Every structure is written in C-alpha cells, then in structure tokens.
C-alpha cells in the first residue's frame, strides 16, 4: 500500500547524535517522507505534541529525557503512533524492556543498511494504519452493536410499557365494568346473554350469574318495544337512548334507556352489545319538573299556565259539543290584612285550607287553580246545555263555595273568618279565547268587590238579573215550607172502566205575591241548593198522611195507589228506603197504596244501588213507576233486572200520537215492552178523545191527563173521586 493515499507521512527522529539524525533525514526525505529532528527527548516530546508525527524513531540513551521516557509518553498519549527504538548493541536489555513497554520495533546502531530503516518505517506505518483501521472497524462494530442493543432495549422498553398499559387498561376496564351504574350487556342475535355487568342487581335486582344464558328479550314488558328495537338494530345497526319497559325481579315495570350496537359477520354470526339503565328516577324527576312548571308550589293546585291550557281545551270542546261551561274567579276579602297582621306562615296555611275546601266540592273533571296571591279560579266544564241552566248551576256552586269559605278556619291559635268575592262568567259567549274568559271573570269579581265584598256577580248584566231573581227565589223557597206555602195537588188516573184508580201528587208553591208557581220553575233551584231533600220529605209525608186519611174514608174502595215524584237527589241518599219506611210508620199509611215515580236517568244510573233500593221498596210493598218513559235511554236488559211495576208513557209521545206516525210507533213499542216485562202502563198527558181511543186500541189501560182532569187541590180532588164513584164511566171511557 502506498503512503500517498494517507498523504505525506511525518516522521520524527529523536537522537542526540546529529549524524544519525541527518542520515535518517536525508534518506527518508528521498522516499517522500517529511522528517522532523529532535536532539533530545524533551524536544522530541514537544514536537510530538505540536506536530503529531506518524512515526517516531527514538534513541534509548539520551541526556535529560531518555528514550524510555519518550516511549512512555507515546504509549500513553498517542498509542497508534508507531515508535521504533534505535539502540546500540550494548544496551540490548534496554531494547527488551522497551519492547515490553510498548515499542513497536527496534533497530540496532549503527544502521549500516538504511533500506532496513525504510523497511521498518514502511512496515510499521502499514501496521499502524491497519491497526487504526482495525480499531476503527472494531469501533464501528461496537458502535453498531451498541446502536442495535439500544434499539432493542428501546423496543423492549416500549413493549413492556405497552404491556403495562394493556394491564392497566384491562384493570381499568374491569373496575369500570364492575362499578358501572349502567348495565353493560352482550347477547347473541337470539338475545341469549353472553355477558352482563354486575350492576344488573342495582337496576332490575337480578343476579348477574343467573342471567347469563337467559334470553334478554323475555325481560321486555311489552314485546312490541322489543320488536321495534330489534327492527331498528337490524336496519341501522344501532339504537341510542331507546326507551322500553323492562320487568324487574319484583315484577314491576321499569322504564329503561337502551343504547346498543349490532354486529354481524359475513357468515351470519353476530352479537348485540351496549348499555341500558333504569331511568325511573329521571322520569320521576322530569315529571316533577313538569308538575312544578304547571302547579303552584304552595297549594299544589294548577297554576295560571295550566288553567289557561285547560280553559282553551274546554272552550274548544264546548263549542264543538254545544255544552256550556263556567269560570268562577274567587278573591279572598281582606286576605292582605290577615297576611300582614298574623304573618306569612298563617297566610300560607290559610291559602292551603282554602285550596282544600275548594277541591273538596268539585267534580273530577273540574279544575281549581291558584293564579295569584289570594286569587283562585274554578273552571266548570259541561255544566249545562243552555245558558239558563248553566247560570243556575254555576250560581249554585258559587253559593256553596261562599258558604264553605265562610266557615271559620282554625290556624294555630287563631280562629279566622274570611269571605270571598266571586265573579262568574259563562262560556262560550262568542269567539272569545281563554285570556278573554279569564278577564271576564276578573271583571265580574271586581263588581262583586265593589258591591261590598262577600258577593257573587255575573259578567253579563242579563245573567246577573236572572241570578238575582233565582237568589230571591231560593231565599223564599227556604221559608216556603215553614210558611206553609207548599201545596200538593193531585191528578187523577183513570182505568179502562172509567174509574179513578190512582193519582199523582204534583207540587205547587202558593206564593203570596207571585201567585201559584209551577214546579218546573222551582224544582231545579231546590235540586241545586239541596232544598229538594226537605221538600221531598214534606211531599212524602203529605201524601202518606192523605193515604192514611183516604183509607179510612169511602174513597178507599176506588183509589188504588197515590204516586209522588222522587228527585234523583232524594233517591241517591243511602238511607232513602229507611226514610220512606219511617214516614209510612209515622203516618200509618198502607205501603201498598204508595207509589214512587222515578225518571229513567235514576233507574239506569248506578244499577247496583238502584236494584238494592228497589228491592227494599218491593219488600215494603211500595210501587215503582218509571216516569217519562221513552225520553231517556233505558236499555231493555237493565229494565229486566229491576223490580218495576209501572211504565209511564211520556206526554210528548201521547201529544201527537194521532198525527205523528213515529210517535204512534213509539207508543206502540212501549206498550209492547211493558207487556213483555209484565208491567202496568199509564199514558200521561191525555188531552183528547182521539188520543184516548188510540191508546185504548193499543191496549193501554190507564190514563192521566187534562182530558179527565187537571191536577187538583186536595178538596177538589176528593170531590172529583166521589163524583166519579157515583157516576162511573161518565167521561170518555167505554
């Protein structure tokens, strides 16, 4: 290998003999080396430091710093630099020592053949180069190994870290799985449970282990829910917050929200997994929030928003059905004074008490709302089919409310007396909306306040006038019994032989100023105010007293039974049969001679109660007739179950029986029904000979009507019967 490739090599020769240095210098220069000379070790070391030669030739024996010291320096500071010792033959031991210490080669002085020197220089430079290359290669290898090792270590570390993370995330997953509040589930496509989190016990109270392998779909309360969920999973692969009722272990149905995904491979295998959660509490909270939004928090009554909603609904329905409703706006008089003087605590309790009292008297379909501090609203739906009756009923309820709220209220140590001012408006009047109706109520309430509080006022003057009249009537009616103004008239009933076979008692009110008032005007007021109960009692008593009297007279032979009209209110009293029994006992009347007339409505409504009461009357021997038969909707099946005695054909059918074919057909049918049920039949309102003949021809054997007689006061009635007895068949009947 030529030295050219490494550039010019520099050779340092250290020798105290100038001749030797020069001969080396000259010779080696010829071969293209650069040669440095040093006359002793000290200079040599200085040149070694500054010139960094490629090879050193050093004499062993030199003054000051000798060759071994230079050798020592080179071995420790430039180990790759070849150092050749040049020594006299007398110091051969030194040479051996030098080789031990790291000299690369040696030459003996005097160097006769300088080619030996050249050979040694070349050989050692080559050795140095190889050694350097070798070292570099070694170094390279080592570097490579180190690098690979580092890489492997890094990879290893990463792997370990990944492993650690996996373990961590597995642990995390486990602990999440175990502490989930939601239920994680995994099922196959048939719904068989493959995995389920333990939280199932908190949600539906099942044990996880028991559920594995069960069919999850069987726990849906409604199979339709399950089908819908599975359809959606099949179509779009997932459902989110799907709500369904699941059956819990105690059998209760729990609303659950299900979020699930469906996976299916090409081979058809698949699974459905996801989470579900019992949302009962959420639902309850939602319902509560909804409730709070629409209710007054103090009294728990509907608030203004809910009232307006319901009012709007009611308005629409009233317009559709033609039924009228009423809105009562109630304001408590002097509530502010109580609140200010006794404190809000008392005020609040007072409002709650008022709310309770209001709620206690209303039907389920009505609404009581609190729309402001001491302002309440009562919404009455489907009150009547015409304004008159609606106004009458609304007024009746307002009176009841006024009475109820005027009763003392005890709160803590206070006995409080309050009165309400009540405004009433009816609807629909025109095309008004809910807000307008409420405003009308407010206007009317304001009028009530203006009139001196504790009052009831109607929104429209017309309504007010009627209300005033009714109120007057009611006041007077209360006194009518005590003042002996009620009279019972009797209208005879005639049989096929023309004899008086019975009579119906009909009420009249002999008013000192208005004269004779007919029952159609005051019975409805009596029913709404509850006065019908004492009045009905009076009628029964009066009729029974007369029955007892007539039984002892010569009229007894002719008179069959005496019937009185019984209001539904009377009949619905739990102890009504007991009351009748007592009256019969008190008056000594023969029960077999008493008849009770009930309307179809009473007969049909609450059949169980009716059957029981009628059975009691049957036992007593009291006769029962169905009044106004044909105007209601009696079902034949019900009628069959009732122990009835008589059907009364309503006047409206008899009225045009000779002109109107459909009336004729109805009368015909009623008679057939009575026949079928084995009942007697009486035709009401017979006014003409023609009607009588028609009825006779159809087989109806008893009649009542102006054709024979109007209802008569007792003395005239007695005279009529006596006359008839002595003069059988005078009028009309063949």
The residues of the shown chain that bind ligand C2E, judged by CB under 6 A, are: 491, 506-507, 518-520, 523, 536, 539, 564-565, 567, 597, 627-628, 651, 684-687, 704-706, 711
Closer CB to ligand C2E, 125 or 517, in the complex: 517
**Binding pattern to Ca ion, positions 660-689, x when CB under 5 A?**
------------------------x-----
Q: Pick from 94, 597, 680, 718: which binds Ca ion (CB under 5 A)?
A: 597
Residue 409 binds which one of Ca ion, ligand C2E, none, with CB within 5 to 8 A depending on kind? none
Residue 117 binds which one of ligand C2E, Ca ion, none, with CB within 5 to 8 A depending on kind? none
Residue 625 binds which one of ligand C2E, Ca ion, none, with CB within 5 to 8 A depending on kind? none
Please return the burial class of 509, using the count of CB atoms within 10 Å of its CB with bins 0-12, 13-18 and 19+.
buried
Closer CB to ligand C2E, 413 or 659, in the complex: 659
- Regarding 600 and contact with Ca ion (CB under 5 A), the answer is no
Closer CB to ligand C2E, 24 or 522, in the complex: 522
The tokens for 318 are: 């009233």
Site size toward Ca ion (CB under 5 A) is: 5
Least Å distance, CB 565 to ligand C2E, is: 4
Round to whole Å and give the CA distance between 193 and 188: 7
Least Å distance, CB 228 to Ca ion, is: 58
Which whole-number Å values give the CA distances from 9 to 12, 31, 119, 351, 414, in the listed order? 10, 10, 14, 119, 127
Least Å distance, CB 441 to ligand C2E, is: 33
Round to whole Å and give the CA distance between 119 and 102: 20
Please return the burial class of 126, using the count of CB atoms within 10 Å of its CB with bins 0-12, 13-18 and 19+.
middle
Residue 706 binds which one of Ca ion, ligand C2E, none, with CB within 5 to 8 A depending on kind? ligand C2E
Beta strands (DSSP E) in 417-514 are 420-427, 456-458, 486-495, 500-511
Give the position of tokens 């999440």. 176
Residue 507 binds which one of ligand C2E, Ca ion, none, with CB within 5 to 8 A depending on kind? ligand C2E
- State CA 500 to chain mean position distance: 67
Closer CB to Ca ion, 128 or 493, in the complex: 493
CB 577 within 8 A of CB 616: yes
Closer CB to ligand C2E, 57 or 682, in the complex: 682
Closer CB to ligand C2E, 272 or 562, in the complex: 562
The tokens for 686 are: 């017979």
Closer CB to Ca ion, 523 or 692, in the complex: 523
Least Å distance, CB 587 to ligand C2E, is: 16
- State CA 713 to chain mean position distance: 65
Round to whole Å and give the CA distance between 183 and 32: 92
Q: Pick from 203, 314, 529, 565: which binds Ca ion (CB under 5 A)?
A: 565
Q: Pick from 627, 645, 680, 718: which binds Ca ion (CB under 5 A)?
A: 627
Residue 685 binds which one of Ca ion, ligand C2E, none, with CB within 5 to 8 A depending on kind? ligand C2E
- Regarding 628 and contact with Ca ion (CB under 5 A), the answer is yes
Give the position of tokens 């090792």. 149
Give the position of tokens 């602990």. 175
The DSSP result for 594-615, as a single string, is: EEEEEEHHHHHTTHHHHHHHHH
Closer CB to Ca ion, 94 or 628, in the complex: 628
Bond before 722 cis per omega within 30 degrees: no
Give the residue ranges of DSSP H helices in 552-597.
568-571, 576-587
Closer CB to ligand C2E, 35 or 598, in the complex: 598
The number of C-alpha atoms within 13 Å of 144 and in the hemisphere containing its C-beta is 6
Write out the residues near Ca ion by the rule CB under 5 A. Answer: 565, 597, 627-628, 684
């Amino acid at each position: 290998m030529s030295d050219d490739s490494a550039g010019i090599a520099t050779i340092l020769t250290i020798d105290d003999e100038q001749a030797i240095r020069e001969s080396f210098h000259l010779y080696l220069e010829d071969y293209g080396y650069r040669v440095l000379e040093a006359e002793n070790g000290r200079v040599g070391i200085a040149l070694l430091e500054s010139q960094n030669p490629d090879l050193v030739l050093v004499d062993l024996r030199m003054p000051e710093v000798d060759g071994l010291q230079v050798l020592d320096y080179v071995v420790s500071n430039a180990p790759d630099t070849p150092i050749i010792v040049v020594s006299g033959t007398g110091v051969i031991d030194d040479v051996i020592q030098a080789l031990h210490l790291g000299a690369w080669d040696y030459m003996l002085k005097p160097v006769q053949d300088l080619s030996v020197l050249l050979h040694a220089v070349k050989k050692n430079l080559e050795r140095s180069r190889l050694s350097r290359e070798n070292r570099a290669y070694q170094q390279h290898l080592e570097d490579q190994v180190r690098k690979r090792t580092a890489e492997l270590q890094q990879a290893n570390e990463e792997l370990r870290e990944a492993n650690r993370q996996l373990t961590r995330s597995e642990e995390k997953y486990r602990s999440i799985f175990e502490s989930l509040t939601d239920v994680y589930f995994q099922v196959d496509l048939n719904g068989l449970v493959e995995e389920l989190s333990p939280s199932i016990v908190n949600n539906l109270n099942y044990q996880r282990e028991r559920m594995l392998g069960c069919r999850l779909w069987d726990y849906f309360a409604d199979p339709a829910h399950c089908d819908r969920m599975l359809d959606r999973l099949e179509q779009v692969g997932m459902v989110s917050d799907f709500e369904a009722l699941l059956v819990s272990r105690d059998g209760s149905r729990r609303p659950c929200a299900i979020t699930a995904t469906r996976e299916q491979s090409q081979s058809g295998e698949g699974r459905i997994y996801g989470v579900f959660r019992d949302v009962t509490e959420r639902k309850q909270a939602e319902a509560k929030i909804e409730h709070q939004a629409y209710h007054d928090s103090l009294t728990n009554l509907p608030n203004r928003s809910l009232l307006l909603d319901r009012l709007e609904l009611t308005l629409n329905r009233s317009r559709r059905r033609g039924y009228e409703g009423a809105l009562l706006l109630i304001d408590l008089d002097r509530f502010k004074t109580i609140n200010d003087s006794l404190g809000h605590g008392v005020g609040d309790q007072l409002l709650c008490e008022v709310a309770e009292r209001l709620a206690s008297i209303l039907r389920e379909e009505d609404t009581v709302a609190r729309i402001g501090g001491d302002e309440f609203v009562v919404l009455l739906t489907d009150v009547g089919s015409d304004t008159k009756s609606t106004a009458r009923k609304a007024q009746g309820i307002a009176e009841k409310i006024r009475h109820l709220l005027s009763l003392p209220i005890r709160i803590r140590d206070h006995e409080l007396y309050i009165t309400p001012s009540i405004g009433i408006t009816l609807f629909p009047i025109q095309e008004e909306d809910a807000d307008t109706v409420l405003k009308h109520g407010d206007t009317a309430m304001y009028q009530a306040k203006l009139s001196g509080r504790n009052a009831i006022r109607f929104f429209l003057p017309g309504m007010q006038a009627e209300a005033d009249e009714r109120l007057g009537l009611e006041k007077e009616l209360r006194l009518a019994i005590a003042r002996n103004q009620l009279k019972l008239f009797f209208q005879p009933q005639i049989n096929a032989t023309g004899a008086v076979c019975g009579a119906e008692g009909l009420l009249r009110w002999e008013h000192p100023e208005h004269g004779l008032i007919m029952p159609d005007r005051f019975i409805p007021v009596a029913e709404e105010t509850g006065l019908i109960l004492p009045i009905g009692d009076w009628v029964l008593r009066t009729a029974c007293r007369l029955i007892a009297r007539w039984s002892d007279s010569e009229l007894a032979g002719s008179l069959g039974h005496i019937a009185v009209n019984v209001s539904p209110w009377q009949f619905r009293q739990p102890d009504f049969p007991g009351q009748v029994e007592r009256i019969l006992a008190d008056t000594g009347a023969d029960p077999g001679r008493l008849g009770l007339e009930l309307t179809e409505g009473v007969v049909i409504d609450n059949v169980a109660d009716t059957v029981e009461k009628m059975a009691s009357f049957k036992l007593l021997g009291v006769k029962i007739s169905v009044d106004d038969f044909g105007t209601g909707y009696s079902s034949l099946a019900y009628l069959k179950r009732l122990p009835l005695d008589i059907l009364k054909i309503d006047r409206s059918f008899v009225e045009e029986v000779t002109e109107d074919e459909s009336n004729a057909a109805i009368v015909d049918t009623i008679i057939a029904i009575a026949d079928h049920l084995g009942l007697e039949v009486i035709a009401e309102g017979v006014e003409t000979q023609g009607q009588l003949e028609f009825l006779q021809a159809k087989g109806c054997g008893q009649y009542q009507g102006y054709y024979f007689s109007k209802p008569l006061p007792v003395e005239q009635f007695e005279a009529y019967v006596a006359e008839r007895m002595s003069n059988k068949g005078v009028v009309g009947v063949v």
